[in-house]
Every structure is written in structure tokens, then in C-alpha cells.
């Protein structure tokens, strides 16, 4: 370990965020669809909450990916530069 | 060859069932405590030995990672928690690769033959507990940084996005826990299959790969915890984000 060229904070951060993207989609979708199925079973409204769960799950996974992508190394700097250009 | 998703019960203490992953976790914790005690006893600022240098290089690696991700001040604040995650996950993952680790079998209180030890992170309860601690810290930090009203306001702005924000927060727990569990459990199954069909030479390659994956998974869990914490605290990316 110690200071060496094999891995640095930016690489580790990019690696972790990239690894998180897939599971974040699966977790958000699974959570919303599972919740929808449970609500449908409880309220006997199948498939209303299942469909709602799919929609919310897709939006939640998109939101999670967007918030993770904003944290990619250098992204904040790029965003700031882009905002300054727009102004 | 028998593969079970849940950890196998080994013993019972009153109403509490002791599983083989709990035994492994306890051994790993005792091992880390022993290492910490030896480190403390041999601590020297004038002439640090190899052992001290090794421990300090690991700590420095994680500290640099924290500072590079969350900035100097916040990085140092979260370092104790995050370093605990890294050291525990890494040790537990590598401990499960030791030769003879799954070779000790016992007959449990139900009369079944079960392995005495099993990789700690191949139990979803363990990874879920760590993910809950990480995400719990994120929420506490969010409340202390912005105040309860500010935190709730951010969660419900705009109001129709509140369920999405909440699902996104809960999904952090599931994805952190699920990925670590999935990778370690998958690795265990892979090694078991390899040992049963090609018991010589070939499994060594997979043990090497699993050692690498064990390190990467510990690193990912650690870095993501810091990223979530820095997001909650609203920390800016460190200007010179280079570590280790």
C-alpha cells in the first residue's frame, strides 16, 4: 500500500461509483416494485400499485444514477464551468 | 456439495442462535483487537518497526482515500468509522480464503453436519448491519448539518419527488449490502465448485482472484460510505484528490 501509482483517490472513487450504478438501479426498482406488490396484496388492488411501483422505481433509479454521476471525479468542476459559461 | 444462502446455525445460547458467520466475525474482531494491542505495545515514534510501518501504511491509505473524497476536515472526522469498515471487511474477506477455513465441520444442536466457519460477509445480516450503520451515519450527518427542518425540506423538495428521494435513500442500504454479500457469497460458491471439480492447482488461481475481489469490495464499500457522507454534509470535492 502506501503512496504508489497503482491506485489513487480519484480512481477509487470512480471505481466505487461505477460499481454502484448497476446495484443502485436494481435496488431502487426492486424496492419500489416490492412495495407496490405488498400494497396490492394488502389493499387487493392488483395491479395498480405494481404499475405505480414500476414507474416510481424507474424514476428513483434514474434519480440515484444522476446523483451518483454528479459525484464522479471532476464532474463538479465541469458542472461549475458549464454553469459559468451559461451565465 | 451443499450450498445454503443463509448462514448455518451452529450452537444456541438461550434463545440466541449462533451461526457460523457470527463465529467468524467474532474471530476476526478478536484478531483485529490482538493486532491493535500489539501495535499499541510496540508503538514507537523514533524507530518504527516493520509491523508498525505496515499498520500505518494501511491507515494512511484509508486516510488519504477519505481526505481525497470528502476533503481534509470531513475526511478526518469520518476516518475512524470508515477505516473500521475497511479493515473489518478486508480482514473478514481474506480470512475466509485461508486454507482449511471451510474444512472444519461440526454437528449442530439440530443434529445436522455444518461448517464451523463461513466468510462473515457471505451473510446478508452482516452486510446489512454495516450498510445500515453507514447510511444511518449519513442521515444523522444530514440532520446535524442542515437541521431537522432543512433536512426534511430537502427530502420533500419538490413534494412529488419525496417518495423517489426516500426510495433512493433506502436503496443505498440495499445496494451497499447486496453487492458486498453477492460478491463474497458468489466467490464462496465459485471456490466450492472449483474445489469439487478441479481440486489441484486451478483453485489457487481463483483464490488469488477472490483475494483481489475481497480488497476491491472493501474499497468500494469504504469509498461509497465516504461519498454518501460527503454528499450529506455538502462537502466539495477535494481540490487535489490524490490518495495512496
**Residue A39 included in any domain:** yes
Residue B182 distance to chain A (closest CA, Å): 11
Least confident of A3-7, B92-96, B107-111, B170-174: A3-7
**Residue A9 included in any domain:** no
**Residue A80 included in any domain:** yes
Domain ranges of chain B: 9-233
- Report the mean per-residue pLDDT for chain B: 89
- Provide DSSP, chain B: ----SSPPEEEEETTEEEEHHHHHHHHHHHHHHHHHHHHHHH--SSS--HHHHHHHHHHHHHHHHHHHHH-HHHHHHHHHHHHHHHHHHHHHHHHTTSTTTT--EEE-TTS-EEES---GGGSHHHHHHHHHHHHHHHHHHHHHHHHHHHHHHHHTSSGGGHHHHHHHHHHHHHHHHHHHHHHHHHHHHHHHHHHHH--SSHHHHHHHHHHHHHHHHHHHHHHHHHHHHHHHHTPPPPTT----
Q: pLDDT tens-digit profile of B144-163?
A: 888 899 888 888 888 888 88
Q: Vertex A18, ends A16 and A23: CA angle to 5°?
A: 90
Mean pLDDT of B118-135: 95
ipTM over 0.95: no
Cα separation, B112 vs B26, whole angstroms: 22
**Residue A2 included in any domain:** no
Question: For residue B185, what pLDDT is reported?
Answer: 95
Picking from A9, A60, A71, the nearest residue to B64 by CB comes out as A9
User: How many domains are contained in chain A?
Assistant: 1
Question: For residue A78, what pLDDT is reported?
Answer: 66
**Residue A53 included in any domain:** yes
Q: pLDDT tens-digit profile of A63-80?
A: 888 888 887 766 666 666
Interface test with B, best of A9, A68, A72, A75 (most B CBs within 10 A): A9
Amino acid at each position: 500500500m502506501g503512496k504508489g501509482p497503482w491506485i489513487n483517490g480519484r480512481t477509487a472513487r470512480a471505481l466505487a461509483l461505477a460499481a454502484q450504478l448497476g446495484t443502485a438501479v436494481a435496488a431502487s426498482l426492486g424496492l419500489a416494485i416490492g412495495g407496490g406488490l405488498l400494497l396490492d396484496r394488502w389493499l387487493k388492488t392488483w395491479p395498480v400499485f405494481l404499475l405505480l411501483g414500476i414507474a416510481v422505481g424507474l424514476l428513483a433509479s434514474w434519480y440515484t444514477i444522476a446523483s451518483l454521476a454528479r459525484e464522479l471525479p471532476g464532474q463538479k468542476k465541469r458542472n461549475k464551468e458549464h454553469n459559468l459559461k451559461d451565465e | 456439495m451443499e450450498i445454503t444462502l443463509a448462514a448455518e446455525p451452529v450452537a444456541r445460547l438461550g434463545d440466541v442462535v449462533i451461526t457460523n458467520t457470527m463465529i467468524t466475525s467474532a474471530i476476526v474482531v478478536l484478531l483485529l483487537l490482538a493486532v491493535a494491542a500489539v501495535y499499541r505495545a510496540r508503538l514507537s515514534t523514533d524507530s518504527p518497526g516493520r509491523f508498525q510501518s505496515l499498520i500505518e501504511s494501511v491507515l494512511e491509505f484509508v486516510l488519504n482515500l477519505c481526505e481525497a473524497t470528502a476533503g481534509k476536515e470531513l475526511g478526518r472526522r469520518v476516518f475512524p468509522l470508515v477505516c473500521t469498515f475497511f479493515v473489518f471487511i478486508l480482514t473478514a474477506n481474506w480470512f475466509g480464503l485461508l486454507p482449511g477455513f471451510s474444512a472444519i465441520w461440526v454437528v449442530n444442536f439440530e443434529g445436522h453436519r455444518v461448517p464451523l466457519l463461513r466468510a462473515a460477509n457471505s451473510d446478508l445480516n452482516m452486510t446489512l448491519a454495516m450498510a445500515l450503520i453507514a447510511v444511518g451515519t449519513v442521515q444523522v450527518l444530514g440532520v446535524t448539518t442542515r437541521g431537522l427542518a432543512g433536512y426534511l425540506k430537502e427530502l420533500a423538495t419538490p413534494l412529488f419527488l419525496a417518495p423517489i428521494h426516500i426510495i433512493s435513500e433506502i436503496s443505498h442500504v440495499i445496494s451497499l449490502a447486496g453487492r458486498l454479500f453477492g460478491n463474497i457469497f458468489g466467490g464462496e460458491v465459485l471456490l466450492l465448485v472449483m474445489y469439487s471439480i478441479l481440486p489441484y492447482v486451478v483453485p489457487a488461481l481463483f483464490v488469488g482472484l477472490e483475494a483481489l475481489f475481497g480488497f476491491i469490495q472493501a474499497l468500494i464499500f469504504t469509498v461509497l460510505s465516504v461519498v454518501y457522507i460527503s454528499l450529506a454534509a455538502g462537502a466539495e470535492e477535494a481540490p487535489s484528490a490524490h490518495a495512496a
